[in-house]
Structure 1
Amino acid sequence: MEAVGLRSHLGYVLSEAERAVNRGLSTALQAEGVTVEQWRILRALSDGRGHSMGDLAEAALMPHPTLTKAVDRLVDSALVYRRQDPNDRRRVAVYLSNSGTLLVDRLDHAATAHHRTVEAAFGPQRAEELMRSLTLLIESLR
């Protein structure tokens, strides 16, 4: 069957797939009171290095103003904190707090369970191939 209308455009189909996947992920994270966007921020910070807002916006796939508001809420919840970079006083980095680290551990379980649900619905091999293909697409378009 030939694709017609919006579904004939890759960008649309990718957005629709993202919505479907994130709807389930949102449900999985809801028990901890965390949104998908907050999970991305926390997960990006879990490497322990501290990130500038610019690096964090790119990693979390969020525009700067939206990221700033989300980080402010996470700071208010004591899950992350900001600290001036000791090597560059002009740079402020965001770090995961101890409470944030404990939360990320719990969120990882929820995200992994969601990933398994997607694999069960789509098939593990197809899901793995899709991730490889999408990663190649991203690299090709950079």
Structure 2
Amino acid sequence: LATDDRAERFAGHFPAAAVHPIQSATMGSKNPFALLGAFWKIWRGVRQASAVIARIKPDAVVGFGGYPTLPPLYAATRRKVPTLIHEQNAVMGRANRALAGRVDAIAGGFLPQDSSAAGVKTVTTGNPVR
């Protein structure tokens, strides 16, 4: 499990060796200084994720959208690790749209196969349930 700092409160539910906090940030601000800071945090997260991927050598990296998805998925695509994103909504979010052209597959509950920019990489799978 690679996640941002917000999910550390759930870390007790996973084995210690399975939790890897990775920095990330949202690009929601229009303030240029805030955007620069967010970009820097995301880049640090990519470097952290790349180190984790090199160490644990995962068979694949899966992301479920949102800004915490960017660093690990981007790092995985750079390291040639198979990648998948899952989009739970009918309209793909910003993070998943940014990654769509780089990942190996896109799964989703409501995505029409012909509407994705990635086209053939899209598979309608349904949504995971808790």
- Identify the TM-score tier after normalising by the shorter chain: 0.3 to 0.5
TM-score (norm 1): 0.32
Higher strand share: 2
TM-score when normalising by structure 2: 0.34
Structure whose alpha-carbon radius of gyration is higher: 1
